[in-house]
Amino acid sequence: MSRLAILPALLILAACDSAPAVTFKDASITLPDDPLELPEGPGRDAVLENCTACHSPSTMLQQPKVSREKWEAIVGKMQKLYKAPIDDDAVPAIVGYMVHVQSQPEAAR
Ligand code: HEC
Protein backbone atom coordinates (compact mmCIF):
# COMPACT_ATOMS: atom_id res chain seq x y z
CA MET A 1 0.00 0.00 0.00
CA SER A 2 1.36 3.39 -0.89
CA ARG A 3 1.67 6.05 1.72
CA LEU A 4 -0.75 8.24 -0.24
CA ALA A 5 -3.58 5.76 0.28
CA ILE A 6 -3.62 6.08 4.04
CA LEU A 7 -3.30 9.82 4.06
CA PRO A 8 -7.06 10.55 3.53
CA ALA A 9 -7.94 8.23 6.36
CA LEU A 10 -5.62 10.11 8.70
CA LEU A 11 -7.10 13.40 7.59
CA ILE A 12 -10.63 12.21 8.40
CA LEU A 13 -9.54 11.08 11.84
CA ALA A 14 -7.89 14.42 12.43
CA ALA A 15 -11.02 16.21 11.33
CA CYS A 16 -13.14 14.20 13.78
CA ASP A 17 -10.82 15.11 16.54
CA SER A 18 -10.98 18.81 16.01
CA ALA A 19 -14.69 19.08 15.21
CA PRO A 20 -16.81 16.96 17.54
CA ALA A 21 -20.43 16.54 16.45
CA VAL A 22 -21.74 17.89 19.75
CA THR A 23 -20.42 21.05 21.28
CA PHE A 24 -21.18 21.78 24.87
CA LYS A 25 -21.50 25.38 25.74
CA ASP A 26 -20.73 26.72 29.13
CA ALA A 27 -24.23 27.70 30.15
CA SER A 28 -23.88 29.09 33.61
CA ILE A 29 -26.57 31.15 35.21
CA THR A 30 -26.12 33.85 37.75
CA LEU A 31 -28.41 33.64 40.73
CA PRO A 32 -29.34 36.74 42.62
CA ASP A 33 -27.69 37.22 45.97
CA ASP A 34 -29.48 34.68 48.05
CA PRO A 35 -29.28 34.82 51.82
CA LEU A 36 -29.68 31.11 52.34
CA GLU A 37 -29.76 31.33 56.09
CA LEU A 38 -32.44 33.01 58.10
CA PRO A 39 -30.85 35.49 60.48
CA GLU A 40 -30.95 34.74 64.17
CA GLY A 41 -33.95 36.05 66.03
CA PRO A 42 -36.83 35.02 68.27
CA GLY A 43 -39.22 32.69 66.44
CA ARG A 44 -36.65 31.59 63.89
CA ASP A 45 -37.22 27.92 64.69
CA ALA A 46 -40.95 28.29 64.13
CA VAL A 47 -40.30 29.74 60.70
CA LEU A 48 -37.83 27.00 59.83
CA GLU A 49 -40.30 24.34 60.90
CA ASN A 50 -43.38 25.79 59.26
CA CYS A 51 -42.31 27.77 56.24
CA THR A 52 -39.13 26.50 54.67
CA ALA A 53 -40.70 23.31 53.32
CA CYS A 54 -42.14 25.41 50.51
CA HIS A 55 -39.97 28.52 50.47
CA SER A 56 -36.35 29.32 50.43
CA PRO A 57 -35.56 31.74 53.22
CA SER A 58 -34.96 34.45 50.65
CA THR A 59 -38.55 34.22 49.43
CA MET A 60 -39.67 35.33 52.83
CA LEU A 61 -36.83 37.75 53.51
CA GLN A 62 -37.24 39.62 50.26
CA GLN A 63 -40.78 40.70 50.90
CA PRO A 64 -41.65 44.36 51.15
CA LYS A 65 -41.81 45.53 54.72
CA VAL A 66 -45.34 45.09 55.95
CA SER A 67 -47.22 45.38 59.21
CA ARG A 68 -47.74 42.70 61.84
CA GLU A 69 -51.37 42.41 60.74
CA LYS A 70 -50.28 41.85 57.18
CA TRP A 71 -47.92 39.07 58.26
CA GLU A 72 -50.76 37.44 60.17
CA ALA A 73 -52.82 37.60 57.01
CA ILE A 74 -49.98 36.13 54.92
CA VAL A 75 -49.50 33.23 57.31
CA GLY A 76 -53.27 32.66 57.34
CA LYS A 77 -53.23 32.67 53.55
CA MET A 78 -50.49 30.02 53.58
CA GLN A 79 -52.67 27.87 55.81
CA LYS A 80 -55.98 28.30 54.03
CA LEU A 81 -55.07 28.81 50.42
CA TYR A 82 -51.93 26.71 50.13
CA LYS A 83 -52.84 24.16 52.81
CA ALA A 84 -49.61 24.76 54.67
CA PRO A 85 -49.60 22.58 57.79
CA ILE A 86 -48.80 25.43 60.14
CA ASP A 87 -49.54 24.94 63.81
CA ASP A 88 -51.84 27.75 65.01
CA ASP A 89 -49.77 27.95 68.19
CA ALA A 90 -46.70 28.78 66.12
CA VAL A 91 -48.30 31.69 64.27
CA PRO A 92 -47.46 34.40 66.86
CA ALA A 93 -43.82 33.30 66.88
CA ILE A 94 -43.66 33.25 63.09
CA VAL A 95 -45.27 36.65 62.76
CA GLY A 96 -43.04 38.04 65.51
CA TYR A 97 -39.96 36.77 63.73
CA MET A 98 -40.92 38.26 60.38
CA VAL A 99 -41.65 41.63 61.98
CA HIS A 100 -38.38 41.44 63.92
CA VAL A 101 -36.31 40.62 60.84
CA GLN A 102 -37.92 43.36 58.81
CA SER A 103 -37.17 45.87 61.54
CA GLN A 104 -33.45 45.11 61.23
CA PRO A 105 -31.28 47.19 58.94
CA GLU A 106 -30.86 45.55 55.54
CA ALA A 107 -27.15 44.91 56.06
CA ALA A 108 -27.74 42.88 59.22
CA ARG A 109 -30.00 40.37 57.51
C1 HEC B 1 -47.57 24.25 51.67
C2 HEC B 1 -46.55 25.13 51.12
C3 HEC B 1 -46.31 26.46 51.79
C4 HEC B 1 -45.91 26.66 53.10
C5 HEC B 1 -45.61 25.63 54.18
C6 HEC B 1 -45.77 28.09 53.24
N7 HEC B 1 -46.06 28.71 52.06
FE8 HEC B 1 -45.84 30.71 51.67
N9 HEC B 1 -46.47 30.39 49.74
C10 HEC B 1 -46.84 29.18 49.21
C11 HEC B 1 -47.28 29.37 47.84
C12 HEC B 1 -47.75 28.27 46.89
C13 HEC B 1 -47.16 30.76 47.58
C14 HEC B 1 -47.53 31.51 46.33
C15 HEC B 1 -46.59 31.27 45.23
C16 HEC B 1 -45.31 31.94 45.47
O17 HEC B 1 -45.30 33.17 45.67
O18 HEC B 1 -44.27 31.25 45.45
C19 HEC B 1 -46.63 31.37 48.80
C20 HEC B 1 -46.30 32.72 48.92
C21 HEC B 1 -45.75 33.30 50.05
C22 HEC B 1 -45.33 34.68 50.16
C23 HEC B 1 -45.39 35.70 49.03
C24 HEC B 1 -46.47 36.72 49.28
C25 HEC B 1 -47.85 36.19 49.10
O26 HEC B 1 -48.74 36.66 49.84
O27 HEC B 1 -48.10 35.33 48.22
C28 HEC B 1 -44.86 34.86 51.43
C29 HEC B 1 -44.34 36.14 52.05
C30 HEC B 1 -44.97 33.60 52.11
N31 HEC B 1 -45.49 32.66 51.24
C32 HEC B 1 -44.61 33.40 53.42
C33 HEC B 1 -44.75 32.19 54.10
C34 HEC B 1 -44.48 32.02 55.51
C35 HEC B 1 -44.01 33.11 56.46
C36 HEC B 1 -44.71 30.71 55.79
C37 HEC B 1 -44.63 30.01 57.16
C38 HEC B 1 -45.59 30.48 58.13
C39 HEC B 1 -45.12 30.05 54.54
N40 HEC B 1 -45.14 30.99 53.56
C41 HEC B 1 -45.38 28.71 54.42
C42 HEC B 1 -46.78 27.96 49.84
C43 HEC B 1 -46.41 27.75 51.15
* pTM listed for this prediction: 0.73
Quote the longest CA-to-CA distance of the chain: 90
* Identity of residue 38: L
Band (pLDDT 50/70/90 cuts) for residue 36 is low
Cβ(75) – ligand 1 distance below 6 Å: yes
The shares of helix, strand and coil residues in the chain, as percent rounded to the nearest 5, are: 55, 0, 45
Protein residue whose Cα sits closest to atom 19 of ligand 1:
78
46 Cβ closer than 6 Å to some ligand 1 atom: no
Look up the CATH number of domain 33-108. 1.10.760.10
Contact between 97 and 43 (Cβ < 8 Å): yes
**Which atom of ligand 1 is found nearest the CA of 83?**
1
Residue 12 has pLDDT above 90, yes or no: no
